[in-house]
Amino acid sequence: MTMISKPIFVTGGAGFIGSNFVLEWLACGKGPVVNLDKLTYAGNLANLANIYNDSRHTFVRGDIADTKLVERLFAEHRPFAVVNFAAESHVDRSIHGPGDFIQTNIVGSFRLLEAARAYWSGLPEGERTSFRFLHVSTDEVYGSLEPGAPAFQESHRYEPNSPYSASKAAADHLVRAYYRTYGLPVLTTNCSNNYGPYQFPEKLIPLCIHNALAGKPLPVYGDGQQIRDWLYVADHCSAIRRVIEAGQPGETYNIGGYNEKTNLDVVQTVCKILDELKPVTYHSSRITPYASLITFVKDRPGHDRRYAIDARKIERELGWRPTETFETGIRKTVLWYLDNTNWVGNVTSGAYREWTAKQYGDRGV
Ligand code: NAD
Ligand code: TYD
User: For 87-159, where are the alpha helices, taking DSSP H only?
Assistant: 91-96, 99-101, 109-121, 125-130
Q: Is 198 left (phi over 0), alpha (psi -120 to 50) or beta?
A: left
Could you confirm whether 139 is annotated as catalytic? yes
How many Å apart are CA 88 and CA 94, to the nearest integer? 8
What is the biggest distance separating any 2 CA atoms in the chain, rounded to whole angstroms?
Answer: 73
Q: Is residue 347 part of a domain?
A: no
Element (H, E) at 228: strand 227-229
- Contact (Cβ atoms closer than 8 angstroms) between residue 57 and residue 13: no
Question: 91 alpha carbon to ligand 1 midpoint, in Å?
Answer: 12
How do residues 70-107 score in pLDDT, each as one tens digit? 999 999 999 999 999 999 999 999 999 999 999 999 99
In the chain, the amino acid numbered 112 is L
Average pLDDT of the chain? 95
Ligand 2 neighbourhood includes 81 CB (under 6 angstroms): no
Identified catalytic residue from 164, 195, 198, 307: 164
Decide: 318 and 189 in contact? Cβ < 8 Å. Answer: no
Asked if residue 217 has its Cβ within 6 Å of ligand 2, the reply is no
pLDDT of 179 strictly over 80: yes
pLDDT value at residue 360: 84
| pLDDT tops 50 at residue 1 | no
Work out which ligand 1 atom sits closest to the CA atom of 36: 20
Total of domains in the chain: 1
For the CA atoms of 51, 55, 59, 64, what is the dihedral angle to 10 degrees? -120
Question: Are β-strands 286-287 and 294-297 bridged in parallel, bridged antiparallel, or unpaired?
Answer: unpaired
Q: Contact, 22 vs 45, CB < 8 A?
A: no
Known active-site residue 140: yes
> Given pLDDT bands bounded at 50, 70 and 90, which one contains residue 282?
low
Residue nearest to atom 10 of ligand 2 (CA): 204
Is 164 one of the catalytic residues? Answer: yes
Considering the candidates 139, 235, 310, 324, report the single residue annotated as catalytic.
139
CA 1/CA 67 separation, integer angstroms: 36
Ligand nearest to the CA of 198: 1
Please report whether residue 61 resides in a domain. Answer: yes
CATH of the domain at 56: 3.40.50.720
Domain presence at residue 108: yes
358 band by pLDDT with thresholds 50, 70 and 90: confident
242, part of any domain: yes
Q: How deeply is 316 buried, as exposed, middle or buried, from its count of CB atoms within 10 A (0-12, 13-18, 19+)? A: exposed
DSSP string, 77-94: H--SEEEE--S---HHHH
* 9 CA from centroid of ligand 2 (Å): 30
For ligand 2, atom 8: residue with the closest CA? 193
> pLDDT over 70 for what percent of the chain?
97
The verdict on residue 293 lying in a domain is: no
Q: Tell me, yes or no, whether 52 lies in a domain.
A: yes
SS3 158: coil
Does the pLDDT at position 285 exceed 90? no
Q: With 0-12 CB in 10 A as exposed, 13-18 as middle and 19+ as buried, what is 179?
A: middle
pTM, entire model: 0.97
Domain with 245, as residue range(s), is 3-195+232-257+306-323
pLDDT of res. 338: 98
pLDDT (mean) for 124-137: 98
pLDDT digit string, tens, across residues 293-331: 999 999 999 999 999 999 999 999 999 999 999 999 999
Measured CA to CA, the distance from residue 361 to residue 309 in angstroms comes to 33
- 44 assigned to some structural domain: yes
Q: How far is the CA of 176 from the centre of ligand 2 (A)?
A: 28
239 C-alpha to ligand 2 centroid (Å): 23
> Rounded distance, CA 314 to CA 255, Å?
7
Spatial neighbors of 337 by CB under 8 A, at least 6 apart, are 206, 209, 210, 213, 344
Q: Which atom of ligand 1 is nearest to the CA of 199?
A: 3
Ligand sitting nearest the alpha carbon of 206 = 2
Given this model, what pLDDT does residue 3 score? 56
* 40 located within any domain: yes
Name which residue leads in pLDDT, 148 or 351. Answer: 148
Which ligand ends up closest to the CA of 363?
2
Average pLDDT for residues 6-14, to the nearest whole number?
98
